[in-house]
Amino acid sequence: MKIFSEELVAQAVSELHIADLQRATIGEVLLVAQYLEQKTGIPFIRMDQGSPGLPVNHYGVEAEKAALDRGVGSQYPAAAGVPELKAEASRFVKAFLNVDISARACVPTVGSVAGSFGSFIACTQRTKGKDKVLFIDPGFPIQKSQLRVIGADWVEFDIYDYRGEALRAKLEEMLSAGDIAAIVYSNPNNPAWICLEDAELKIIGELATKYDVIVMEDLAYFCMDFRHDLGHPFEPPYPPTVAHYTDNYILMLSSSKIFSYAGQRMALTCISDKLFDRQFPDLAARYKDAGVFGQTLIASILYMITSGCTASTQYAYAEMLRLSSDGVINFVEDTREYAVRAEKMKKIFTDNGFHIVYDHDVTEDVGDGFFFTIGYGEMSGGELLKELLYYGVSSISLSTTGSEQKGVRACTSRMRDDLYGVMQERMKAFAEDHPLR
Write out pLDDT tens, residues 364-421: 999 999 999 999 999 999 999 999 999 999 999 999 999 999 999 999 999 999 999 9
Query: Domain containing 371 — which CATH number?
Result: 3.90.1150.100
Distance between CA atoms of residues 414 and 339, nearest Å: 13
- Cα 111 to Cα 120: distance, rounded to the nearest angstrom: 15
Residue 26 pLDDT class (50, 70, 90 cuts):
confident
- For residue 271, is pLDDT > 90? yes
What dihedral do alpha carbons 390, 396, 400, 403 form, nearest 10°?
-110
Alpha carbon separation from 85 to 5, 216, 255, 302, 319 (Å, rounded): 51, 21, 12, 17, 8
H or E element: which one contains 431? helix 420-433
Same domain, 113 and 240: yes
User: Counting Cβ atoms within 10 Å, is residue 228 exposed (0-12), middle (13-18) or buried (19+)?
Assistant: middle
Is there a contact between 404 and 158 (Cβ–Cβ < 8 Å)? yes
pLDDT of residue 340: 97
Residue 49: name the closest of 391, 395, 387, 370 by CA: 395
Q: Are 130 and 160 in a shared domain?
A: yes
Residue type for 416, please? Answer: R
Give me the mean pLDDT over the 349-367 stretch: 98
Chain segment 418-434, per-residue pLDDT in tens: 999 999 999 999 999 99
pLDDT value for 150:
96
Residues 288 and 174 in one domain: yes
Domain boundary among 266, 291, 325: 325
Give the per-residue pLDDT at 22. 85
- Shared-domain flag, residues 277 and 368: no
Single residue among 307, 325, 343 that ends a domain in this structure: 325
pLDDT at 80: 97
Residues 46-87 have pLDDT tens digits of: 998 888 999 999 999 999 999 999 999 999 999 999 999 999
Type of residue numbered 166: A
Is there a single domain that holds both residue 105 and residue 47?
no
Q: Is 262 helix (H, G, I), strand (E, B) or coil?
A: helix
pLDDT at residue 437 in the model: 83
Question: Once rounded to an integer, what is the mean pLDDT over residues 9-26?
Answer: 89
Residues 402, 135 contacting (CB under 8 angstroms): yes
The helix or strand, by DSSP H or E, that contains position 116, with its residue range, turns out to be: helix 111-125
Question: What's the chain's average pLDDT?
Answer: 96
pLDDT exceeds 90 at position 90: yes
Domain of residue 50, residue span: 6-54+334-433
Contact criterion met (CB below 8 Å) for 207 and 246: no
Q: 35 and 148 in one domain?
A: no
Tell me: do 349 and 307 sit in the same domain: no
Tens-digit pLDDT profile for residues 285-344: 999 999 999 999 999 999 999 999 999 999 999 999 999 999 999 999 999 999 999 999
Q: Is the pLDDT of residue 194 over 90?
A: yes
pLDDT at 119 over 90: yes
> Could you report how far apart the first and last alpha carbons of the chain are, in Å?
19
Same domain for 306 and 355? no
How far is 76 from 78, CA to CA, in rounded Å?
7
**pLDDT at residue 24 in the model:** 85
User: What mean pLDDT do residues 115-129 have?
Assistant: 98
- Residue 32: pLDDT band by 50, 70, 90 thresholds? very high
Q: How many domains does the chain have?
A: 2
280 and 181 in a common domain: yes
- H or E element: which one contains 159? none
CA distances from 319 to 6, 53, 369 (A): 50, 22, 26
Domain at 278, CATH number: 3.40.640.10
Residue 36 confidence (pLDDT): 92
Domain boundary among 272, 301, 325: 325
The alpha carbon torsion through 238, 239, 242, 246 (nearest 10 deg) reads 0
Does residue 111 contact residue 140 with C-beta atoms inside 8 Å? no
- How many Cα atoms are found within 13 Å in the side-chain-facing hemisphere of 437? 3
Considering the domain architecture, whether residues 33 and 111 belong to the same structural domain is answered as no
Q: CA-based angle 237:241:243, to the nearest 5?
A: 120
pLDDT digits (tens, 9 = 90+) for 221-255: 999 999 999 999 999 999 999 999 999 999 999 99
How far apart, in whole angstroms, are the C-alpha atoms of residue 289 and residue 287? 5
Residues 214 and 347 in one domain: no
